[in-house]
Structure 1
Amino acid sequence: MNLSIFRIELQQELQAILDYWINNTVDEMEGGFYGRIDNDNISYPDAPKGSVLNARILWTFSAAFSLTKDPQYATMAERAFSYIQDHFIDKEYGGVYWSVTHRGDIHDPKKQLYAQAFVLYACSEIHRALQVEPAKKLAIALYHLIQEKSFDAIKGGYFEAYARNWQPLADLRLSDKDANEKKTMNTHLHILEAYTCLYRIWPDEQLKQHIILLLKNFDDHIIDQQTGHLHLFFDEDWNVKSGTVSYGHDIEASWLLLEAAEVIGDEALIAGTKALAIKMAEAVIIGLDIDGGLWYEFEKAHNQLIKEKHWWPQAEALVGFYNAWQLSDRHEFLQYAFNNWAFIKQHIRDHKNGEWFWGVYEDYTVMPSQDKAGFWKCPYHNSRACMEIIRRTTKP
């Protein structure tokens, strides 16, 4: 494998992923996109539609248009933005619903900050791609809303979730597997990602300061400075409430934190975050299998490796290890990226029906009863990995 072949293969993979979503997910009857497609490519037209999935579709096709200038990607992005604007935005209380019915009516009205961040992120990206002014206006409005409703001015960081009317909520969990805690690594990572994208189109000084504070949250509380891994759950005082290691989030954060520092142009932060990115990538090496795949999680409390290889940590490993190679010039990092891509091609890509499987077990059997498209299965991680590598391997 060399960089030229790597780039060409990922260009082909990007097109294949986007073709899958164009050909399989558009809901011609009710508008927008199907809420669920299963592992066998069976669509469920009556399934609820998630705001995170729709935001990730919007981000993906906006970014793909910026990269390729293919007009069909612009059409998909515009479709996604229109559906979000018409169905997911709460006109009464502000913010984004968690989900709507297949017909676009309110299904779950809770205000999960993770979802607010993803819609902000996607709206910023379509404005970057197509100069859609209503999208920029919505992104800025969501930023102000997040700061007003969720920002912890005393302890720093952001609270996790609220009821539709922004009142306190007993169950703050993003998913059934998460701890019911007031602050999480995952939401902070994606608020940072969203604010970084917004800053590209709206270089506001106060926004910049909040990005700096988010990077400080990671440095002070979220990153275990001894191990290089991320803590996942916290109470409102930043006391750690979980011992789980998420290898996918570790490697994803390693390059997203640096991207944020670079976008705001803070040289001291850039220098510190470059060193941190290498340290975090080094910490993830222990999560690599000999086949190049990245294991899902390690439960420290039970000394147990979760022997599953999900699609999204593989995508983030491609970028994170490539980024570490660019920063350090250590060839082993590039080889980890190459090995991971070989694993994806052999075991994660669905050669029959298209797109990527949710994941495989230790014996390479495909994880059953999972989605090709759904609340969590989306075109964002894998297409973004392709686009990042394409950009990074393309000579200026």
Structure 2
Amino acid sequence: MNQETIKIFRQELLDNLTQNILPYWLEKMTDPRGGFYGRRDGDDRLDADAPKGAILNARILWSFSAAYLATGNPDYLAAATRARDYIVSHFIDSDFGGAYWSLNADGTPLDTKKQFYAIAFIIYGLSEYYRACSDEESLRIAVGLFDAIEKHSRDRLKNGYIEATARDWQPIADMRLSDHDANASKTMNTHLHILEGYTNLLRALKEKCPASFESRVPDVEEATANLLEIFLDRIENPATRHLTLFFDDDWNEQPGAESYGHDIEASWLLLETAHVIGDQALTAKTLDHTFHIASAGLQGRCVDGSMVYERHPAGNYDNDKHWWVQAENVIGQLWLAQFHGMPEQLERARQSWRYIADNLVDPAGEWHWSRRAADGSVNRSDDKAGFWKCPYHNSRMCIEAVRTLDSFID
């Protein structure tokens, strides 16, 4: 790919971030009661009374913090501060620690269970906010949430992290993250996003660590490295190189799909973790594993650059083109180009971006949930913005892709 094409690709991504994705959240999702609304449906109609999820709010916090770091736009820092303040005031459980799963629209607790996936995303958002504006209180809360996960989720006997507990950290029967998931005590998805939160917390501590937090760096680094090793040694299937999705307490596999989006997402997140840790042997090991994980994920890539959702255990496919899978597909291919010596992946990533731009980006703002495989139509049954539809995969794709493409510009 020539320099001019790279520059055009880069500008298109930056424009999508600053002119399409983020303005939508600022203009259509800011709740005058505080924080952000919980939902707009697939037809872009506001549901002002929808519950507010911890995941949505934490991802908003990360997205605007990262966008401020990338662009310096003060409006983004103001939005991040709004998200940060709402999370701290309403989601953090001042009695038992941790964070609630969801709130009512008025900010009162709704579902008070402790889902460690969600708590990890708050760590992810708070640590990015600290990176953006050096707010030590946010760093303190993030470290406290790290301690809560280490105390109440980490399995010190068999390794790994359990999914969820009740509000008071007692066992809970239904640990599922969503109706789509198996009720397994240990899952790839929760491990991946705890790793993501820990990696960003470790990066924040290494970049600018106040003296009062210096003693915590080894704790965070040990937990982060341990999680990375779990992925390479347990969660990656050595035969197929796909990630196994569900396990019991003893790490026995449970039936699950091959998730192409998670494979390609993990292929770059795991390598990012190794880079932040900075151990050469671990980075070399991770580089080898992530090449194979990315290759497994790309089994779901289509000739038009899009990526199908997953392959079920029975062998049938879900061929819908989900927004987040397409976003991770672009980043994964760019990381293959940058770190695995595969420059041809630049053009393949650009082709994947063109699929997104032509099929998922809504000119009115944000992206649609998916395109249906059956007839290619826009899926309006799922949210435009909501509990799971957040400015995270797509804004991160734009930010990370711009950073990666910069390394190829002379």
Counterpart Cα distance in 2 of 1:284 and 1:150: 28
Runs of 4+ aligned residues of structure 1 deviating over 6 Å after TM superposition are none
Cα pair 1:47 1:102 within 8 Å, conserved: yes
1:205 aligns with 2:209: no
Counterpart Cα distance in 2 of 1:342 and 1:75: 31
Aligned residue for 1:379, secondary structure, equals coil
Counterpart Cα distance in 1 of 2:242 and 2:11: 32
Q: With the length of structure 1 as denominator, give the TM-score of the two structures.
A: 0.97
Counterpart Cα distance in 2 of 1:225 and 1:70: 45
User: Which residue pairs with 1:342 in the alignment?
Assistant: 354
For residues 98-177 of structure 1, the aligned pairs below 5 Å read 98-177=101-180
What amino acid does structure 2 have at the position aligned with 1:49?
A: K
Aligned residue for 1:372, secondary structure, equals coil
Could you report, residue by residue, the CA deviation over 1:41-74 in whole angstroms, capped at 9, with x for unpaired residues?
Answer: 2111111100000000000000000111100000
User: Which residue pairs with 1:23 in the alignment?
Assistant: 27
User: Which residue pairs with 1:381 in the alignment?
Assistant: 393
User: Which residue pairs with 1:312 in the alignment?
Assistant: 324
Identity value in percent:
49
Cα pair 1:278 1:327 within 8 Å, conserved: no
User: Which residue pairs with 1:226 in the alignment?
Assistant: 239
User: Which residue pairs with 2:212 in the alignment?
Assistant: none
Could you report, residue by residue, the CA deviation over 1:3-30 in whole angstroms, capped at 9, with x for unpaired residues?
Answer: 11111110101112111111110001x2
Cα pair 1:254 1:278 within 8 Å, conserved: yes
Instruction: Give 5+ residue unaligned stretches, structure 2.
Output: 207-216
Counterpart Cα distance in 2 of 1:322 and 1:192: 21
| Superposed displacement of residue 285, structure 1 | 2.2
Counterpart Cα distance in 1 of 2:150 and 2:239: 31
What amino acid does structure 2 have at the position aligned with 1:118?
A: F
Cα pair 1:157 1:214 within 8 Å, conserved: yes
| Superposed displacement of residue 202, structure 1 | 2.1
Cα pair 2:259 2:297 within 8 Å, conserved: no
User: Which residue pairs with 2:258 in the alignment?
Assistant: 245
| Superposed displacement of residue 227, structure 1 | 1.6
Counterpart Cα distance in 1 of 2:255 and 2:362: 34
Counterpart Cα distance in 2 of 1:327 and 1:73: 30
Counterpart Cα distance in 2 of 1:101 and 1:248: 31
1:355 aligns with 2:371: no
Cα pair 2:188 2:245 within 8 Å, conserved: yes
| Superposed displacement of residue 276, structure 1 | 1.7
Cα pair 1:119 1:139 within 8 Å, conserved: yes
Counterpart Cα distance in 2 of 1:19 and 1:379: 11
Could you report, residue by residue, the CA deviation over 1:226-256 in whole angstroms, capped at 9, with x for unpaired residues?
Answer: 2221000000111110231010000000000
| Superposed displacement of residue 84, structure 1 | 0.3
Counterpart Cα distance in 2 of 1:178 and 1:125: 28
Counterpart Cα distance in 2 of 1:68 and 1:330: 28
Cα pair 1:277 1:324 within 8 Å, conserved: no
Q: With the length of structure 2 as denominator, give the TM-score of the two structures.
A: 0.94
Cα pair 1:56 1:380 within 8 Å, conserved: yes
More deviation, 219-228/315-324: 219-228
User: Which residue pairs with 1:259 in the alignment?
Assistant: 272
Matched pairs, number:
393
What amino acid does structure 1 have at the position aligned with 2:284?
A: A
More deviation, 94-103/235-244: 235-244
Counterpart Cα distance in 1 of 2:343 and 2:69: 30
More deviation, 141-150/277-286: 277-286
Counterpart Cα distance in 2 of 1:51 and 1:142: 13
Cα pair 2:42 2:379 within 8 Å, conserved: no
Counterpart Cα distance in 2 of 1:258 and 1:330: 16
Counterpart Cα distance in 2 of 1:331 and 1:266: 26
Could you report, residue by residue, the CA deviation over 1:61-92 in whole angstroms, capped at 9, with x for unpaired residues?
Answer: 00000111100000000000000011001111
